[in-house]
Structure 1
């Protein structure tokens, strides 16, 4: 780990690294039988994530992608769906970069008058659940999700963060 960690908006030059990081974590660490073909969003990040109030950020150590986080505009500019938050195993718990990426997302949401950020996850991702809860996300039932929330087949837990306005 170097002292050159920075947060950046996604740029196409990092596509291969983003895909490699996410697939490695999904397949090798989490044991999920998921392929790139099942995640076409990774091949079209600008048109999938970086539209409306959505965006996609990466954390870089030097020129190496070490973390990702995406936000999908759910269609009415009031809600975002958090997606693709993945952290290289060598950086988990050793830096506050995850918090900085989450803060970037929340700041972006606040600036764009987004009211709520939703996410879906899998119950056995205990570290991720603790991180979300520590950052203000509260559990919600699937039936309480906005109709436009893109539910993933494997998701069994859902969370919501109410974005405070700059006046609060």
Structure 2
């Protein structure tokens, strides 16, 4: 397995992976139209100082994670998805994706990471808690945090420690 920054040349694979997990696996009522960032990775993620990482096994995209920098010291984690057959301790893809994203964030001077998710994704919430994320109220989010419509659970990780 290897992880690398990816951009719009992987658009079809990214869209297929993410929409399948959201819609088919978890029945999250979200469409491609709700996520225009997936069709403009360069401008949405890279230009403001973020990144979009892909995990590959045998040249196939099996996982993603992205970072949206929304102010000089804070960023939001987005698009953390791993194909069902590659989840879990055996592969540790999610863990490696998160660790690379945190390392990138620290290099770029980001002090706070935030994320939004849906309460339905209990395994994801446990994963973030194991990685020292703390659940916070929506009202505790920075005012410039880029909200996603379906999100109803929010987490924070302080990188200054």
Q: CA deviation at 1:98?
A: 1.0
Give CA deviations for 1:114-151 in whole Å, capped at 9, x if unaligned. Answer: 01000011112110001101111001111111111011
RMSD (Å), alpha carbons: 1.1
What is the match of residue 157 of structure 1?
153
Q: CA deviation at 1:14?
A: 1.4
SS at match of 1:15: helix
What is the match of residue 63 of structure 2?
67
Q: CA deviation at 1:51?
A: 2.1
Gaps of 5+ in 1: none
One of 75, 79, 88 as aligned partner of 2:74:
79
Q: CA deviation at 1:42?
A: 0.3
1:116 and 2:112 correspond: yes
How far apart in 2 are the matches of 1:119 and 1:100? 17
What is the match of residue 139 of structure 2?
143
SS at match of 1:80: strand
SS at match of 2:115: strand
Alignment of 1:2-17 (within 5 A): 5-17=1-13
1:88 and 2:83 correspond: yes
1:40 and 2:36 correspond: yes
How far apart in 2 are the matches of 1:9 and 1:18? 12
Aligned residue pairs total: 160
How far apart in 2 are the matches of 1:72 and 1:115? 13
Q: Is the 8 Å Cα contact of residues 7 and 52 (structure 2) preserved in structure 1?
A: no
Give CA deviations for 1:94-113 in whole Å, capped at 9, x if unaligned. Answer: 31111111011100111111
Gaps of 5+ in 2: none
